[in-house]
């Protein structure tokens, strides 16, 4: 599935931030850089602020429907002070940003992820998900062709299917 740049990469960064288990600035900057963001380093204070933002992003994935997601996202968009900018940095062609390229890293991450999730909820609200395996809790952006993903990974899907198979075999036997 191909999304616009905000609904794709930015939404995936939002999911990764929502799943954070650490506020390690080096790992966090590397993850974002791996998704095409031009953040090369963060200090501990910035990483802690971004990790706290990740907890707020998690609420969007956990919201029951597009309306609940929209309400949460409107608050995130407001709190991130998003407003569009056409940016031309690092030799790249003109492209849309929701924060000035000169904004601090925390503001840029907030605007990027809130904007990405907003695009996704408006265009494909069913593409945000939380793993269907009981006790897992990992959230994801469904980029599958048919948009029917229910688990965060093949590993979780396999665990559920094996457990269901064993239950059926036990009941039949």
User: Across 100-104, 124-128, 133-137, which has the greatest mean pLDDT?
Assistant: 133-137
For residue 93, give the CATH number of its domain. 1.10.3300.10
Whether residue 101 is contained in a domain is answered as yes
pLDDT tier at 66, thresholds 50, 70, 90: low
- Domain, as residue range, for 121: 6-125
pTM, entire model: 0.85
**Per-residue confidence at 7, pLDDT binned at 50, 70, 90?**
low
- Is 22 a member of any domain? yes
CA distance 131 to 151: 4
How many domains does the chain fold into? 1
Let me know if residue 137 belongs to a domain.
no
The count of other CB atoms within 10 Å of the CB of residue 1 is 13
Please indicate, yes or no, if residue 144 is contained in any of the structural domains: no
Q: Are 33 and 20 in contact (CB under 8 A)?
A: no
Q: Which of the pair, 41 or 67, is modelled with greater confidence? A: 41
Rounded to the nearest integer, the mean pLDDT of the chain is 88
Per-residue pLDDT tens for 38-60? Answer: 888 899 999 999 999 999 999 99
Q: Is residue 152 one of the residues assigned to a domain?
A: no
Q: Decide if 143 is inside a domain.
A: no
Residue 113 CA to residue 125 CA, distance in Å, equals: 15
Query: In this predicted structure, which of 67-76, 89-98, 138-147 has the lowest mean pLDDT?
Result: 89-98
């Amino acid at each position: 599935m191909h999304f616009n740049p905000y609904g794709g990469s930015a939404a995936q960064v939002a999911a990764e931030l929502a799943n954070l288990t650490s506020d390690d600035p080096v790992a966090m900057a590397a993850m974002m850089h791996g998704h095409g963001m031009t953040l090369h380093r963060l200090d501990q204070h910035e990483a802690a602020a971004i990790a706290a933002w990740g907890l707020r992003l998690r609420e969007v994935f956990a919201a029951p429907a597009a309306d609940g997601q929209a309400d949460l996202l409107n608050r995130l968009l407001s709190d991130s002070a998003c407003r569009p900018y056409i940016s031309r940095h690092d030799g790249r062609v003109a492209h849309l940003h929701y924060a000035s390229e000169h904004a601090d890293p925390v503001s840029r991450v907030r605007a990027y992820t809130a904007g990405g999730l907003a695009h996704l909820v408006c265009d494909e609200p069913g593409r945000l998900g939380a793993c269907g395996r009981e006790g897992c809790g990992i959230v994801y952006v469904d980029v599958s062709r048919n948009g029917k993903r229910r688990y965060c990974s093949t590993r979780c899907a396999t665990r559920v299917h094996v457990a269901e198979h064993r239950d059926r075999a036990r009941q039949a036997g």
